[in-house]
Amino acid sequence: GQNIDQPTEMTATEGAIVQINCTYQTSGFNGLFWYQQHAGEAPTFLSYNVLDGLEEKGRFSSFLSRSKGYSYLLLKELQMQDSASYLCAVTDSNYQLIWGAGTKLIIKP
Amino acid sequence: GAVVSQHPSWVICKSGTSVKIECRSLDFQATTMFWYRQFPKQSLMLMATSNEGSKATYEQGVEKDKFLINHASLTLSTLTVTSAHPEDSSFYICSGRARDYEQYFGPGTRLTVT
């Protein structure tokens, strides 16, 4: 079956760094997405990885290792508004998105 | 980035009535549109995939006669919840897939059935 695992909840301090991990097992792989979702809102796109390595975009970076079925989202200089759920999603061989359950990130002052 | 709109953004209806939700891709052609449902504190759950001009493909456990999906054009898909019940109350989100295979999400529609 297809499976994506990520931690349910994480807590971090304002100004710090946090890494959210995602492991996946899917039928085929055509890219991995990270989305941010604030409560009551639709997901917003953060990053896309299809090749191994690190993609940096401002305070957010995303890493992919296809051989390990592993990705992480790194958030630096955390701000209170970064409190949200972070969803990992993998595009399978049919280009369909398979979603993780999301990681709720709580930022404390 | 590409923009997807949904209408209405929230709706309250009585049990037994039907509700139609529209999803429009405003600045790109979405050959494929997806409908998701999200219950509180849960992840997105794919309900169905629709390709323009053809019948939608429903995920297991989703009643196709209850959740009617129409994808009549490359920029419009509709989801009709028929004979709504309180357990259908949820956050419904659509997305459109463009040629680059990224999905662009609408803002969501919150449905409350009383």
Contact A41 B34 (CB under 8 A): no
Set of chain A residues whose Cβ sits within 8 Å of the Cβ of B43: 87, 99-102
CA gap A37, A107 in Å, rounded: 14
**What mean pLDDT comes out for the span B90-111?**
86
B46-80 tens-digit pLDDT: 899 998 888 899 999 999 999 999 988 889 999 99
B10-40 tens-digit pLDDT: 999 999 999 999 999 998 888 889 999 988 7
Set of chain A residues whose Cβ sits within 8 Å of the Cβ of B101: 30-31, 91, 95
pLDDT classification of A94: cutoffs 50, 70, 90: confident
Nearest residue of B to residue A95 by CA position?
B101
Instruction: Look at residue B102 and tell me whether its pLDDT is greater than 90.
Output: no
CA gap A86, A100 in Å, rounded: 9
Q: Give the pLDDT score at B2.
A: 78
pLDDT over 90, % of chain A? 75
CA gap A95, B44 in Å, rounded: 17
**What mean pLDDT comes out for the span B73-96?**
94
Selected for mutation to probe chain A from B25, B37, B44, B90 (highest A CB count within 10 Å) is B44
Name the B residues in 24-83 with CB < 8 Å from any A CB.
34, 42-46, 49
Q: Give the pLDDT score at B95.
A: 92
Quick check: B89 contacting A, CB < 8 Å?
no
Q: Round the average pLDDT of chain B to a whole number and report it.
A: 90
pLDDT classification of A51: cutoffs 50, 70, 90: very high
Set of chain B residues whose Cβ sits within 8 Å of the Cβ of A95: 97, 101
How many residues in total does chain A contain?
109
Structure-token pair, residue B4: 């997807």
Q: Give the pLDDT score at B101.
A: 65
CB A35 within 8 A of CB A44: yes
Nearest residue of B to residue A93 by CA position?
B101
pLDDT over 90, % of chain B? 64
Q: What are phi and psi of B44, to 5 degrees?
A: -65, 140
Integer CA distances (angstroms), B74 to A62, A89, B29, B35, B106, in order: 32, 24, 5, 15, 15
CB atoms within 10 A of CB A77: 11
